[in-house]
Amino acid sequence: MYSFDRLKNHIEETLQIDSSNVISHFTPIREKFKTVRELEGKVNLGEASFIYTDEKGKKHKGFLFIEGGYDRQTAIARGYQTIVPKFHILNCSTINQQKKRKNFDGHYVFSQRVETIKDLDDVVKEISLCRNCLNAQTIVTKVMYVSEYIEEYIKSQLEVGQFDDVDLPKGNVFNDTGYTPDWDEKSHAYRIKMKFMCQNCGIKLNKNYSDGYFLETHHLDGNKSNNEEHNLKALCVLCHSKINEMHKRNYRKEPNLTKLKTFIEMFRYNLEEVKNPFLTDV
């Protein structure tokens, strides 16, 4: 059964939002933007969602999608099977391509509603999550229809999906995965400082250059933009995979699962030597 208390705690810890200040009702909003500049002035990237700021300064979690779906005549001419668009929860490669091709203006809508489109077969269908968005983040773990996303990630988080400016974490520049653009450099520098040793079990992964691949840098507060040294911890793949429930889920699917299995196979003796506490669990 889905634990909304656990989800609530995760949101409070990750986004530093006080859920006691959250408005107690949910009225879905929908806003169409004429240009990319207009949209980017009011919509920012959130945690597995876009955040729209209304005229009163309230923040609303939601998604982007193409209003009306794909062009019917173009779809038929190109042999497409559907005109039902996907909805987007971050700046994935699809969104960025649309911006570069100048196909974005006047088409994309921010919404919190259950959006449906009449398809080529005249059946009204719900829009579903973009796979590029799914693969670029770790909060939403499966492709789903928009109604399910709204229930699980908008209405249930913070009860409503509406909150004030002061409740949001300070902004930063993110790449498509939610990390800051300099994350690879900061992660590598931190692991060097830790001498490529896991800060949990003590295994050393510095014998060969390739060994460092199996040492990862974890954000203690779950906020990928907080790269302060006190918020980082160097963990071997096995320790990282057990750090919390979200990571346990992430390492049960590819490509993380293969990386975990390879690490255990290659370093089982070393893991036994340092008495890794999680080795008996796998």
Tens digits of per-residue pLDDT, 168-217?
A: 333 344 444 568 888 888 998 899 899 899 999 999 998 765 678 899 99
Lowest mean pLDDT among 30-39, 114-123, 176-185, 236-245: 176-185
CB 128 within 8 A of CB 119: no
Rounded average pLDDT over 152-173: 48
Instruction: Please give the average per-residue pLDDT across 13-29, as a whole number.
Output: 53
The two structure tokens encoding residue 156: 């249930």
How confident is residue 62, by pLDDT bands cut at 50, 70 and 90?
very high
Cβ contacts of residue 103 below 8 Å, gap of 6+? Answer: none
* Contact predicate 72/66, CB 8 Å: no
Say how far apart CA 279 and CA 282 lie, in whole Å. Answer: 6
User: What's the pLDDT tens digit per position in 139-148?
Assistant: 888 999 999 9
Q: Where are the domains of the chain?
A: 4-167, 183-281
